[in-house]
Structure 1
Amino acid sequence: MKIAFLLHTAYGIGGTITTTFNLAAALAERHDVEIVSVLRGRDNPLLTPDPQVRLRPLVDLRTERDHPRHKEPSRVFPTAESRYGEYSRLTDERIARCLADIDADVVIGTRPGLNVHLALQAPDRVLRVGQEHLTWDHHSPHLRTVLRRAYRRLDLLTTVTEADARLYRRQARLARVPVQALPNSVPGPVLPPSDGRAKLIVAAGRLDPVKGYGLLVRAFAKVVAEHPDWRLRIYGRGEERDRLHGLVQELGLSNHVHLMGAFAPMEGEWVKASIGAASSTFESFGMTIVEAMRCGLPVVSTDCRYGPGEIIQDGVDGRLVPPGDPDAFGAALLDLVRDDERRRAMGRAAAENARRYDPQSVVVEAER
C-alpha cells in the first residue's frame, strides 16, 4: 500500500512533525510511505526522517518566497486557520497538482487547513484521512463552520484522544464519516531509562503562557524550601522566556531553575532526570508526557482537559493535579521527591505503561 502524509513543514520542530515522522517510519516497515511537506525553509530537516520514507517539498521558501503567486492570498486554506498567513495561491496550486497526480492509496492530512485541501481536492480514488492534532473546542466558531462542511468529504477523521473524538462525533455533525481516536506515537528510548536517583526535574515545550511554566516555577519553590539540593530544568524557547527569567530571579531560584533553550532530541535530557513535569492549562494530547514516561520518569501533570488524564494513571505512573494550583502541584512534586522508592517504582511503571504509545502499537490501531 502507498501512503502519503500532507504536512505543513517537515523542516521544523514540533509535536505534529515528530509524531508524523514516528508514524511514517513505523508504517514504512510494511508500506511505501512518503511525506509531502508543503513548505521548505532550510536545506535539511531538523529531525531525521527514516531513510525508508521519501520526503517531497512543494514550495521552497529558500528560492520562492518572493514568487508572485506566493504574494497572493490562498483561496482554499481556511482564513480562520492559524497558519493562513503562510499559505498563498502558489500553495493552492502546488497542493492541488500534488493531490491530482498522487499515486498513493491513502493520503493523510495533518492539520485543519490541509484536511480542507484534502477533502476538497483529492480524487475519490484515494482514501482521505484527516488528522486533528488540536481539539474541536480549540478551533474558532468560524473555523468549525468551515470544517463541518469540508470534513463531510473525508473518509476518516482521527483525533489524538478519545475525549476529543467524542466531542467531534457530537458537535461536528459528520454522520457518514467515522471519527476514531489515534494517539501520537513515541518510539522506545535508545538510552537506558532513568534510574530515579538524580535530584532533577525536567519539563519541555515551547515557552508559551498555555504551558503554565510560571505555575511550575512557583510550585518548585516549595520543593526547594524543603530540599534545596534539587534542580529544575525547563527546555524550550518562546515568548515567555524573559518573564520566566524574571520570576526565577524574583523567587531567588537562580541556582535552582535553569531555562535551557530548545533541545532535540530530548531523550538524553529526560534520562538525566528523576521526575517529569507538565504544567499546561491546555493540552490536545501531551507528547512530552509520553516522552518522559518512555524514559522511565513519573510525570506530575495538571489534569487539564484532554490528554494527561488518558495518559497518566494517577498514583501509579505519575500524578494528576488540578490546573492553576501551584500548591497542589508543589505537594505532588514533594511526594515524589521525599520518597525515593515510590519515585523509582512509579518510574518503572511509567516506562512499562507508556509502551502502548510505541509506533508499532499505534500502527496496529491505525490499520484496523
Structure 2
Amino acid sequence: MKIVFLLHNAYGIGGTIRTTLNLAAALADHHEVEIASMQRHRETPRFTVDPRVRLIPLVDTRSDGADARDPRFGEPARDFPVHEKRYEQYSRLIDERAAEYLRGCGADVIVGTRPGVNVYLARFGPRGALRIAQEHLRFEAHSKRLRAELAPHYRTLDAVVTTTEADSAVYRKRMPLPGVQILAIPNSVPEPDLPPSEGTEPVIAAAGRLVRGKRFDLLIDAFAEVVDKHPEWRLRIYGGGAEKDRLRERISGQGLTGSAELMGPRFPIEAEFARASLVAVASDAESFGMTIVEAMRCGVPVVSTDCPLGPAEIIQDGATGRLVPTGDKHALAAALLELIDDAPARRAMGAAALESARMYDPTPISRRYERLFEELAASRGARRRARARAALRSRARRLVRRCTALFRRRPGTAAGR
C-alpha cells in the first residue's frame, strides 16, 4: 500500500511535523510511505526523516531558488482557502504544484495535516484513493468563516481524524459530514533514547511557542509563589515566539531573575525534560498536548491546567499528573508545591506517567491507522449511499422552502394580501 502525507512545511519545527514523521516511520515498516511538503525554506529538514520515507518538496520558497523567479510564485492562491491562517504564505504556484502532485501520486491513502492542505486533498486527490483529513487544531480554533469554507470540501472526504475524543464529538455536532467517518486518534510520541528523569533536580520545565494562549505569564506568576517557599527551585521555559520580551519583563518584574529563565527553542525537548522533576502546562486551550506526553515519556509528572481539550484525556489526575482549573495561578502553584514537598509521591507519579505514556508509542498508533484504512475501504459503498441520501434530503428541504416562499407570495393567500 502506498501512503502519502501532505505537510505545510516538513522543513520547519512543530508538533504536526514531528508527529507526522513519527507516524510515517512506523507505517514504513509495512508500506511505501511518501511525504509531500507544500513548501521548503531550507536545504535539509530540522527533524530526522526516516530513510525509508520519501520526502518531496513541491515549491522552494527560498529567495535565491528557481521557484522564486516563476511568475506564479508572486500570484495569490486561488484554491487554498482564504480564511486559513497560512493563506498569505500560499501562491498560485503552490496551488498548481499541489494539484499536479495529487493527481499523479498514485497513492492508495492520502492524509492531509492542516485545513488548507485538506482542501487541496478534497479538490485534487484521486477519487480512487482513501482521502483523510487530520485536524491538529481544535474545531473552535478555526474561525466561523474558515469552517464555512471547509465544510463542503470535508463532505467529499472519507474521514476526519482529530487528536482527542472531545474534539471529534464537537465535529460530529457542529459540522455534520454524512458518509464521512469522524474519529479520534492521538498523536504518537516515540520512546526517547535516554534514561528517564530521577525526579531529584529542583527544576520545573515548560515548553511551547511563546504566545498568549500558552499562558507562560500565568506560570511565571505561579512560580513566584513556589520560589517564595522553595528558593532553590528553578523554572526553565523552552521555546521561541512573539511573547519573549513581555515574558522576560514579567520575570524581572516578579523578582525572578536567576530563578526563572527563557531558554529558547530546544530539540529534542526530551533531553531537557529528563533533567527536570516537574513539567508545567498553563495553557488556556490545547488541541492535544504533545509536551505533556513528551514529559511523561521521560518519567516526569505534569501539572497542567484542565483546559479544553487534550490534557484531561492524557493525564489521570492524582496518578500520572495533576489537573488544575484553567487561569488559576494559585491552584497551579499549590499543585506544584504539593509535589515539590512530597518527593516520594512525585517520583511515584513520574513512574506511573512513564508507564501510561507507552500507549502513545508510534507502533500502536500506526496500527490504529491501518485498521482505519481497512474500515474505510470496506465501508465505501455504505458511506457513498449515506452521502447520496443526505444530498437528496438537502435538495428536498431546499425545494420545500422554495415552494413555501412562492406560495406565500401568491395573490390571495394570507401572506400575499
Aligned length in residues: 368
CA distance, structure 2, for counterparts of residue 9 and residue 141 of structure 1: 25
Task: Name the SS for the 1:130 alignment partner.
Answer: strand
Deviations 1:234-288 (A, max 9, x none): 0001111111111111111111101000111111111000101111111111000
The residue identity in structure 1 corresponding to 2:34 is: E
Task: Name the SS for the 2:237 alignment partner.
Answer: strand
- Is 1:114 the counterpart of 2:117? The answer is yes
Match of 2:149 in 1: 146
* Selected match of 2:213 from 210, 214, 222: 210
CA distance, structure 2, for counterparts of residue 19 and residue 155 of structure 1: 21
Match of 1:349 in 2: 352
Match of 1:15 in 2: 15
* 1:154-169 paired onto structure 2 within 5 Å: 154-169=157-172
* 1:30-45 paired onto structure 2 within 5 Å: 30-45=30-45
- Is 1:276 the counterpart of 2:275? The answer is no
- CA pair 303-118 structure 1, distance change in 2 beyond 3 A: same
Deviations 1:157-203 (A, max 9, x none): 10000000011111111021000101111001110000111110100
* 1:243-254 paired onto structure 2 within 5 Å: 243-254=246-257
Match of 2:180 in 1: 177
- Is 1:235 the counterpart of 2:238? The answer is yes
* 1:191-210 paired onto structure 2 within 5 Å: 191-210=194-213
Task: Name the SS for the 1:65 alignment partner.
Answer: helix
Aligned residues: CA RMSD: 0.7
CA distance, structure 2, for counterparts of residue 233 and residue 65 of structure 1: 40
CA distance, structure 2, for counterparts of residue 123 and residue 292 of structure 1: 40
Alpha-carbon offset, residue 67 of structure 1: 2.5
Task: Name the SS for the 2:193 alignment partner.
Answer: coil
Match of 1:54 in 2: 54
* Selected match of 1:137 from 128, 136, 140: 140
- Is 1:295 the counterpart of 2:304? The answer is no
Task: Name the SS for the 2:232 alignment partner.
Answer: coil
CA distance, structure 2, for counterparts of residue 350 and residue 66 of structure 1: 51
The residue identity in structure 2 corresponding to 1:54 is: R
* Selected match of 1:307 from 290, 305, 310: 310
CA distance, structure 2, for counterparts of residue 267 and residue 261 of structure 1: 14
Structure label with greater radius of gyration: 2
TM-score normalised by length of structure 1: 0.99
Task: Name the SS for the 2:119 alignment partner.
Answer: helix
- Is 1:261 the counterpart of 2:264? The answer is yes
The residue identity in structure 1 corresponding to 2:25 is: A
Alpha-carbon offset, residue 348 of structure 1: 0.2
Task: Name the SS for the 1:276 alignment partner.
Answer: strand
CA distance, structure 2, for counterparts of residue 337 and residue 58 of structure 1: 50
CA distance, structure 2, for counterparts of residue 248 and residue 142 of structure 1: 38
The residue identity in structure 2 corresponding to 1:150 is: H
The residue identity in structure 1 corresponding to 2:221 is: R
Q: Which runs of 5+ in 2 are unaligned?
A: 372-417
The residue identity in structure 1 corresponding to 2:41 is: G
* 1:63-78 paired onto structure 2 within 5 Å: 63=65, 64-78=67-81
Task: Name the SS for the 2:303 alignment partner.
Answer: strand
The residue identity in structure 2 corresponding to 1:265 is: P
Match of 2:98 in 1: 95
Match of 1:359 in 2: 362
Task: Name the SS for the 2:155 alignment partner.
Answer: helix
The residue identity in structure 1 corresponding to 2:193 is: V
Identity of aligned residues (%): 57
Q: Which runs of 5+ in 1 are unaligned?
A: none
Alpha-carbon offset, residue 135 of structure 1: 1.4
Deviations 1:82-128 (A, max 9, x none): 00001111011000000110111101000000111101111111110
Alpha-carbon offset, residue 360 of structure 1: 0.7
CA distance, structure 2, for counterparts of residue 245 and residue 91 of structure 1: 38
Alpha-carbon offset, residue 66 of structure 1: 4.2
The residue identity in structure 2 corresponding to 1:56 is: I
- Is 1:127 the counterpart of 2:138? The answer is no
CA distance, structure 1, for counterparts of residue 150 and residue 160 of structure 2: 11
The residue identity in structure 2 corresponding to 1:262 is: P
CA distance, structure 1, for counterparts of residue 287 and residue 276 of structure 2: 25
Task: Name the SS for the 1:153 alignment partner.
Answer: coil
